[in-house]
């Protein structure tokens, strides 16, 4: 078996939100080992410049490849929006983003009125409306920056009046547009999808980015002959650029089981 096939799948995000994608990949591909990097020293990416996000992304992705990753999943919409092309050009392994598979799913479902919730960087990039215009030209697209959700989630405020107030503030203008589907275009948001769904109501379908991405990664790696045929001997590995006990606690909620975060001093 080629060494590349035995390598882990590398994922990264600005924090722990990308662990929702890691969880979906672990469920979809139980034979694969995951190598996750949360850039907690620089979160949130959504407030950073495109140049800064590209710089962080290139450093992390190359680091994961150096550690043996056979593929890279940009488990962050902000980084997917502005750094994907740079990573494809720079790396010798397959690179996946969390935008293209979701756009393809919207087109497949023939959604007529779709809303996008994302970070400032994701929404400002215009990548979702542009890609949807090409693949689903009949869909009416509205996008809203919803930046308060990430820090609230990172603070482990996953229930209660603070979260409810933030969701309500974003839900009101979204509902006023009569969208029939809502893309949660940030990998943090699925952890509070139930609360968002309850506020949006049964007439608005929430698209589950982690599961959509996991299916796409599984299919593509399978087509390229890069899936393992035996269970990995080593466990998944989880790294952060700045460790705190609070992050380890919330990381377990995102991944769905107890995990150990290791601080990796990528930037010294």
Q: Residue 183 to residues 99, 118, 137, 173, 187: CA-CA distances in angstroms?
A: 10, 8, 17, 15, 11
Please state, for a pLDDT cut of 90, what percent of the chain lies above it.
Answer: 73
The count of C-alpha atoms lying within 13 angstroms of the C-alpha of 97, restricted to the half-sphere facing its C-beta, is: 22
Closest to 6 in 3D by CA, of 230, 247, 177: 230
pLDDT in tens, 184-223: 998 889 999 999 999 999 999 999 889 999 999 999 999 9
The continuous run of DSSP H or E covering 9 comes out as: strand 9-13
- The rounded mean pLDDT for the chain is 92
Sign of CA dihedral 247, 58, 189, 50: positive
pLDDT in tens, 32-61: 999 999 999 998 888 899 999 999 999 999
Rounded to two decimals, the pTM is 0.90
Task: Find out whether 184 and 204 touch, Cβ atoms under 8 Å.
Answer: no
Please name the fold of domain 3-97+211-263: Rossmann fold (3.40.50)
Domain 100-210: state its class: alpha beta
The count of C-alpha atoms lying within 13 angstroms of the C-alpha of 2, restricted to the half-sphere facing its C-beta, is: 8
Active site residues per annotation: 76, 186
C-alpha span between 254 and 231 (Å, rounded): 23
C-alpha span between 92 and 260 (Å, rounded): 29
Phi, psi of 229 (to 5 degrees): -110, -5
Task: Find out whether 102 and 185 touch, Cβ atoms under 8 Å.
Answer: yes
Residue-wise DSSP of 122-139: HHHHTHHHHHHHHH-TT-
pLDDT in tens, 136-148: 999 999 999 999 9
Split at pLDDT 50, 70, 90, the class of 268 is low
Q: List CB contacts of 238: < 8 A, sequence separation 6 or more.
A: 19, 36, 38, 251, 255, 259, 260, 261, 262
Task: Find out whether 204 and 177 touch, Cβ atoms under 8 Å.
Answer: no
Is 233 exposed, middle or buried, given 0-12, 13-18 or 19+ CB atoms closer than 10 A? exposed
Q: Residue 209 to residues 29, 253, 263: CA-CA distances in angstroms?
A: 16, 17, 27
- Which sequence spans correspond to the domains of the chain? 3-97+211-263, 100-210
Between 227 and 250, name the one with better pLDDT. Answer: 227
Q: How many helices (H) and strands (E) does the chain have?
A: 12, 10
């Amino acid at each position: 078996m080629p060494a590349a096939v035995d390598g882990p799948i590398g994922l990264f995000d600005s924090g722990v939100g990308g662990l929702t994608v890691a969880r979906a990949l672990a469920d979809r591909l139980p034979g694969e080992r995951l190598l996750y990097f949360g850039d907690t020293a620089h979160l949130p990416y959504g407030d950073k410049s495109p140049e800064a996000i590209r710089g962080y992304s290139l450093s992390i992705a190359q680091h994961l490849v150096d550690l043996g990753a056979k593929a890279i999943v940009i488990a962050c919409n902000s980084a997917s929006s502005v750094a994907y092309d740079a990573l494809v050009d720079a790396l010798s392994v397959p690179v996946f983003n969390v935008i293209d598979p979701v756009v393809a799913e919207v087109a497949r479902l023939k959604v007529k009125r779709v809303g996008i919730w994302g970070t400032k960087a994701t929404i400002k990039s215009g990548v979702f409306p542009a890609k949807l215009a090409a693949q689903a030209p009949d869909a009416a697209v509205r996008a809203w920056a919803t930046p308060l959700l990430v820090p609230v989630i990172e603070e482990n405020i996953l229930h209660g009046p603070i979260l409810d107030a933030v969701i309500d503030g974003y839900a009101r203008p979204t509902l006023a547009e009569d969208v029939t589907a809502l893309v949660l275009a940030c990998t943090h948001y699925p952890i509070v999808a139930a609360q968002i769904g309850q506020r949006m109501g049964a007439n608005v379908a929430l698209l589950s980015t982690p599961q959509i991405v996991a299916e796409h990664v599984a299919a593509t790696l399978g087509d390229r002959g890069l899936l393992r045929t035996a269970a990995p001997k080593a466990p998944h590995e989880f790294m952060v650029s700045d460790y705190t006990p609070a992050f380890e606690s919330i990381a377990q909620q995102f991944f769905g089981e107890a995990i150990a975060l290791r601080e990796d001093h990528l930037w010294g």
